[in-house]
Amino acid sequence: MLWGEERNMNVCVTGATGFLGGYLVSDLISRGSRVSALVRPTSDAAKLERAGVHVVRGSFTDRSALERAMQGVDVVYHLAALTSRTAPSKQDCYQTNVAATDLVAQTVLDLGITRMVFCSTAAVYGVIEDPPVDEQSRTKMDSPYAETKLVAEQRLLDAYRAQGLPVVIARFPGVLGYGSPSFIGLFLAIGAGGFRVIGPGNNHTHISHVKDVVQGLRLCGETAGINGRIYNLASEHPVTVNELVTGIAHELGVTLSSVRLPRFPYQMFHAANCMLYRACGRELPRASKYELFLSDKVMSIARARKELGFNPKISLREGLRDAIAWHRERGEL
């Protein structure tokens, strides 16, 4: 551990108003940490303030706001990001995922902060050809989100080697749990009836529960001697696509169609999308929606187990139940 068990840490979380950030903040506070958060001026931070979080309003590209939020902290958890889905443009994705991350890293160095944990993504592995992937497997820039996260990773590791930036990088797949927005499209499609799986559905995918990811992130912030390391954080076992969609249908109370769609046309469409993006930075509509059905998306968590003591415990069924309950409460299902 970086600190003795009895010492309460001072931490800063960016992206604290988001799904994962909210769970991380709650976990840290429950363990006695004092938490500050840099929050966009337009974000609702009332829940954070009620929990006792020191909220600093400002942009992630504003150095003075970063310094106010990070002054006197031991660990910075940098979760704030834009995905391909939420970014208005590729330029916006770069501004938040790369430029803002550079500024966070420089502030960590200037303030002498002990550890920076950067949240990356399993999307950097692209379509996985030889599962399971580990932290040294080939990466791919097949979308604005994957590209900008990978560029940010590379810059952070360059700063670690050149300047001693105390950074640890976490990569994780889609995250389930109460409050998760990640799978609403799939929930709606299956809930509407007539949903058809692409291909046989026997390919495997990794999905994590938010509480397991939070455990892994906390360990990335606490464990000594791991600066410059990358860790995959995923569930105990991958599941097949059939198990995933059957689990969703069960929770929604609908019957799945037994008719399957041929995989080959979607594989060609996805391959064309990857070539188009690499050539000119543009994407075909809906191409990313089919990736779940086209390959095994399995990650090795052996390094995280060995070096962090990471121990994921929560089942797919519990994650689906929690996420679907949340969407139902919001009237979305």
Three-state SS sequence of 1-30: CCCCCCCCCEEEEECCCCHHHHHHHHHHHH
As a whole number of angstroms, the distance between CA 319 and CA 197 comes to 21
CA quadruple 221, 226, 232, 235: dihedral sign: negative
Of 268, 273, 303, the closest CA to residue 288 belongs to 273
Mean pLDDT by 10 residues, the chain (333 residues): 66 97 97 96 94 95 95 97 73 92 98 98 90 95 90 98 99 95 93 93 94 98 97 95 96 93 90 84 77 90 98 95 96 93
* Rounded to 5°, angle at Cα 174 from 171 and 175: 95
pTM of the model: 0.94
Determine the length of the chain.
Answer: 333
Return the closest-CA partner of residue 319 out of 254, 261, 237, 262.
237
> 180, 210 in Cβ contact below 8 A?
yes
CA distances from residue 261 to 198, 200, 264, 284 in whole angstroms, order as listed = 5, 8, 9, 20
Whether the Cβ atoms of residue 24 and residue 77 lie closer than 8 Å to each other = yes
Best CATH choice for the domain 10-177+206-236+295-313 from the list 2.40.110.10, 3.40.190.10, 3.40.50.720, 3.40.630.40: 3.40.50.720
What is the per-residue pLDDT for 1?
60
Nearest to 118 by CA among 167, 155, 177, 172: 167
Q: Which pLDDT score is estimated for 92?
A: 87
Tell whether omega for the bond before 262 is within 30 degrees of 0, i.e. cis.
Answer: no
Closest CA to 241 of 174, 295, 185, 179: 295
- Per-residue model confidence (pLDDT) at position 277: 82
pLDDT of residue 290: 85
The predicted pLDDT at position 85 comes to 66
Do the Cβ atoms of 14 and 104 come closer than 8 Å?
A: yes
